[in-house]
Amino acid sequence: MGNNSNLQAAKNTKDDEFYTTYETIEKELVHYSAHFNDKIVLCNCDDPFESNFCKFFLRNFNKLKLKRLICTSYVTSTVVATQSRLYDEQSKPLHKGQGYVLDVEKFCDTDDEISEEVVSDFLSTSRHIKKLNDDGDFRSSECVEYLKIADIIVTNPPFSLFKELVSLIMKHNKGFLIIGNQNALTYKEIFPLIQNNEVWTGYQFGDMKFRVPASSEPRNTRYWVDENGQKWRSLGNAMWLTNLDIERRHEQLKLTKSYSPDEYPTYDNYNAINVRRVIDIPYDYDGIMGVPITIIDKYNCEQFEIVGEANHGSDNEYDLFKPTVNGKELFKRILIRNKKAKAGGVSMYRILDLFSGAGGFSYGMEKNSHFNTEIALDFNPKALETFKHNMPNTEIINGDITNAVIKSKVILESKKKKVNMIIGGPPCQGFSLKGKKLGLNDPRNYLFNEYLKIVSELQPEVFIIENVKALLSTSAGWFKDEIVAKVSAMGYYVDYGVLTASDFGVPQSRQRAIFLCSKRKKVCLPTATNNTIVTVRDAISDLAYLNSGEGDFELEYTTKPASQYQKDMRKGSTKLYNHKASNHAEIAIKKLEKIPPECGKEFLPKDMLGNQQFSGTWGRLKWDDVSPTIDTRFDASSNGTNNHPFLNRAITPREAARLQSFDDRFVFIGQKVYIRQQIGNAVPPLLAKALADKIYEELGL
C-alpha cells in the first residue's frame, strides 16, 4: 500500500487539503456517464470557484444531461479567489473567510463539452454564487440540506474527514463517487460497507497527484513545486470509492496458481493461509485466505466472500487477529474465501500457445476470464517481445519446436504449470495436390506433426488447430479428412469448419479454418454473435487525421470515440500507440490523390498504373463495409485494398490493429517491418474470444 507517514503527518496537522487535477477527474468520470442523466450533483467539499470538480461538471453539464449542480466551499478554504476576482449573486466581491455555494440549473445551449473559457466567464459574471449562512462545513445543517436534495455526491474531502463524509452519505442513502486513501478501506466505518457489497472501489487505484495550498509544508518524498510556484503532492495509495454500479466490479479475477502447503503457510493464531500477493491466490483452495488489502480493487462478490480482516489491534469488530507467520508480523490482511474454488478440479483453462506470434490468439482467449496463457512458444524473438509486453505473466520460450531441447523444455514447463489446453496454427506446406501421396507423412508437414506430438504428450482437455481456409477444400477435402482421422485416433472429438471474423465483431472479412478438439465431448464451433457488421468507419474513423509520414509510436488521443467499437477499443488505454503513417514516396501520394474516397485503381490514368497484376491494388477501404483480410504489407499503398478511405496514405499499424480487433491497450514493439508481420499474421482477438466463450459454455470448468 506504500508508506503513509506523510499522510499521517498531514492528518495530524490537518494539512490534508488535496486538490484533484482535471485529468484525474475526467479519467474516472468517463466510466459513469449514464449515472448522471437528470440527476442533481453535489460537490460539497469544493470551492465553486477553482475546484476542478466544479469545472468538470460545468464543462459537461449538458453532455451529462445534469438536472442541477451544487458546489459548496468551506470557510477556511485556502484557495478561494486566488486566481480571479469573483462576485456573489448581489455583485459583491467574494473574499476568503466565507462559505459559499454555487447552484446551477441551466448552463449554455450546447450538448457538446463546454470550453474552459466559457466556464471561467460564467463563474466571474453569472452571479450564481452566494454566501452561506453557516461556514460551509459539509456536516453543517445548511450543507446537509443540500445533500438531502442531491442524487449523487462527487468530491475529494479532506482525508481526515473521509469516513465522516461516507457515513453521512450512507445515512441519507445517496449515490457517491469520492477520492480517499486506500487505508480507509479497513476503517470500522468503511470496511463493513465493503464486506456487505454496499460500496466498492472505482477505476483508478494507486498513484494520483494533487495540487496543495501554499501553506503546505515541504515533504521529503512525493512533493514538488512546478515552474509557476504551485506546490504538488502525490499519493501512491489513493483511490476512488463509490456505490455507483460499474462494469469492472463484475469482472472476475483470473486465478492461475494451485495451492501447496509449502507456498501458502498457515497463520500462527488463526486457521487461514497467507497469500503474499493478489495474483498468487490459489484457484483450488476453499478455506479462508489472508490477502493484501489491494484485493478490494479486484473484488467481485460473486467470486469471493470477505470474511473479515487481520490487523494489529484496531477497534474494528471485523478485525479477527494479528497476522503473524512463524512469529513474524505481517502487514494488514483482508480475509477472503473463494466461492468458486474447485479443489482437485479444473478451475482455469491453462494454455500453451504454439506458433504464438505476437499473441493475438492468446490475447483473445484471455478476454474470457476462465482462460490464461501459461506458456508461449515461437521462433521469432521480435514477436515474442510484443507478446511479453502485453501478457507479462506468460512464460516465453523462443526457439524451434523441432529442436529436441526446446521441445523438452516446452513439455516440462507445461506439465509444471498444469497446462490443459493447447492452441496454435502449425504451418502445413505439404497440403497441396502434390502432397496428397504422402499426406500427413509429407516431410513438409513436420511442424504440424510436432504440434500433434506435443498434444499426445500433454493430453490437454482441449486443443485448437487454426489454419488457412483452403486446407479444408484442397483435394476435395482429403487432407481435412486425414487430420480428423488422426485427431480422432488420439481420443478426441473434433468439430471443424471455416469461421469468418466479421461474424464475431471483427471489422474484417478474414476467414480461417478451425479444428476444435475436445476430450470430454464434441464442442461445436461457435455461430455468429453479431447480427450486423462492425464497419471500417466504426473501427477507425476517430483516427482519420494523419497524413503520410505523420504520427508517432506514442500519442495523446485528440478526438472523441464515435462508435461503441471505438469506445471498447479505447477502454483502459490512456495513450494511443503505433499510430504512425508510412512515409510514402511522392509518386505514391500523387496516385492516391487521383483516387476518390472509397475507390480504386480504375481512376488512375494508364501511364500511372504500373506493373501490378492484381485488380485490387491501390484500393481504398470502404467506410461502411468490413475490411478485406489484413496482411503483412498493409502499410504499402500499392498492396491490395489497404489505403485509407479518403486520406492519401495506407492505414497505420494502429488502424490495422483495430481492424484485427486488437484493443488500444495492446502495444506492438519493434521496427515497422516486424510490427506489420505481427499484426498481419495474428488471429483476430475477438474471433479467439468467441472460441473461448464457446468452450466455456459447452464444457464449463
Q: Which residues of 605-625 are buried (b: 16+ CB within 10 A; e: fewer)?
A: eeeeeeeeeeeebbbbbbbeb
Does some domain include residue 261?
no
Q: Which residues are catalytic?
A: 428
d(CA 211, CA 195): 32
| Identity of residue 212 | V
How many CA atoms does the CB half-sphere of 258 hold within 13 Å? 15
Question: Does residue 260 sit within a domain?
Answer: no
pLDDT one-digit tens code per residue, 461-518 = 999 999 988 888 877 787 788 889 999 999 999 999 999 999 999 999 999 999 999 9
Q: What is the pTM of this model?
A: 0.65
* Residue 475 in grid coordinates: 483435394
Report the alpha-carbon distance of residue 428 to residue 450 in Å, rounded.
Answer: 11
If asked whether residues 149 and 46 sit together in one domain, one would say yes
Expressed as residue numbers, the domain containing 668 is: 536-684
**Same domain flag for 567 and 666:** yes
Cell digits for 309?
Answer: 480482516
54, part of any domain: yes
**46 and 112 assigned to the same domain:** yes
How many domains does one find in the chain?
Answer: 4
Out of 338, 368, 386, a domain closes at 338
101 within 8 A of 72, measured Cβ to Cβ: yes
Q: What is the helix, strand, coil percentage profile of the chain, to 5?
A: 30, 20, 45
Residue holding cell 478526438? 559
For residues 565 and 644, state if they share a domain: yes
135 and 185: one domain? yes
Read off the DSSP letter of residue 23. H
- Cα separation, 136 vs 678, in Å, equals 58
Residue 265 lies in a domain: no
Q: Which residues of the chain have pLDDT under 50?
A: 1-13, 78-84, 344-345, 433, 435
Q: Evaluate whether residue 35 is within a structural domain.
A: yes
pLDDT score recorded for residue 79: 40
Of 310, 315, 384, 316, which is closest to residue 353 (Cα–Cα)? 384
Residue labelled with grid coordinates 476517430: 542
**Is 494 within the bounds of a domain?**
yes
Residues 277 and 207 in one domain: no
Residues 38 and 168 in one domain: yes
Domain assignment present for residue 262? The answer is no
362 and 466 in a single domain? The answer is yes
* Residue 343 domain flag: no
Considering the domain architecture, whether residues 69 and 151 belong to the same structural domain is answered as yes
Q: Are residues 520 and 545 in the same domain?
A: no
Tell the burial category of 84 from Cβ atoms under 10 Å away from its Cβ (0-12, 13-18, 19+): exposed
pLDDT of residue 479: 77
Please indicate, yes or no, whether residues 109 and 218 belong to a single structural domain of this protein.
yes
C-beta atoms surrounding 322 within 10 Å: 17
Q: Which grid cell sits at 607?
A: 501511364
CA pair distance 508, 622, nearest whole angstrom:
11
Nearest Cα neighbor of 367 from 689, 25, 32 is 689
Place of cell 467539499: 45
Distance, CA of 689 to CA of 361 (rounded, Å): 8
Query: Distance between the two ends of the chain, CA-based, in angstroms?
Result: 34
Predicted pLDDT of residue 475 = 73
| Contact present, 255 and 279 (Cβ < 8 Å) | no
**Which stretch of DSSP H or E encloses residue 580?**
strand 576-580
For residues 378 and 357, the answer to whether their CB atoms sit within 8 Å is yes
CATH of the domain at 607: 3.90.120.10
Task: Report H helices in 332-467.
Answer: 360-365, 381-390, 404-416, 446-458
- Residues 452, 414 share a domain: yes
Instruction: Give the Cα separation of 631 and 654 in Å (integer).
Output: 14
468-477 long-range CB contacts below 8 Å, 24 or more apart? 468/512, 468/513, 469/498, 469/511, 469/512, 469/513, 470/431, 470/513, 471/428, 471/431, 471/513, 472/496, 472/497, 472/498, 472/513, 474/431, 474/432, 474/433, 475/433, 475/436
What letter would DSSP give residue 455?
Answer: H
List, in sequence order, every residue forming a beta bridge with 494; answer none if it has no partner.
517
